[in-house]
Amino acid sequence: MSFVFEATNDPDSVIVRIGKALDFRNAAEFKTVCQEKVRGGARNFVLDFSETGILDSTGLGSIFSLYRQVSPLNGQVVFASVSRPVQVVVQLTRTYKVFRQFPSVEAAQEALS
């Protein structure tokens, strides 16, 4: 159930492989690690939802928290490879208005570079 953070060639950017779920069970951990990354200089976060079967309200709240941290620093949070279950939540909550979506992590990285 754990997510994986990957460094990129761009020191300001981080890829987060969300994995199977981002929900009330691991959202606090996600938030903590993201805060550490931001303190370490990361500004742009690409969230890879390709394997994600559940994104719940708590998980979404932790993403909003990340957004609030990086936005004042001209950073971005974008979604990549959004799975169908996550797309349902994105549509329900209209978070597509805030977070750009890309068909792949590579496409997201290119857009952020």
Partner 1 sequence: MDSVTYHFQDLDTLIEQVHSLFDTWEGDSDLLDIFSLSTLYQVKIATHEWLANLVQHANFEQDTTDVSLLVKPVDDRIFCVIEDNSDGFVLDEHLEIEPEYLDSLPERGMGLLILKICTEDLLYHGGEMQAINRLEFYVSADQDQWPNTPF
Binding site for partner 1 (CB under 8 A): 21, 23-25, 53-54, 56-58, 60-62, 64-65, 67-68, 84-85, 87-89, 91-95, 98
Comparing CB distances to partner 1, the nearer of 11 and 61 is: 61
Name which of 51 and 110 has its Cβ closer to partner 1: 51
Give the amino acid at 94.
Answer: R
- Cα dihedral sign, 98-76-104-34: negative
**Could you tell me the smallest distance in angstroms from the CB atom of residue 88 to partner 1?**
4
| Nearest residue to 45 (alpha-carbon basis) of 31, 57, 58, 29 | 31
Minimum Å gap between C-beta 85 and partner 1 is: 5
How near is the Cβ of 106 to partner 1 at its closest, in Å?
26
Nearer to partner 1, 76 or 109 (CB): 76
Name the residue nearer to partner 1 (CB basis): 82 or 109.
82
Q: Where do runs of H (alpha helix) occur along the chain?
A: 27-39, 57-70, 84-93, 105-112
C-alpha 3/C-alpha 20 separation (Å) is: 8
**Spatial separation of the C-alpha atoms in residues 108 and 86, rounded to whole Å:** 17
Q: How far is the CB of 110 from partner 1 (least distance, A)?
A: 26
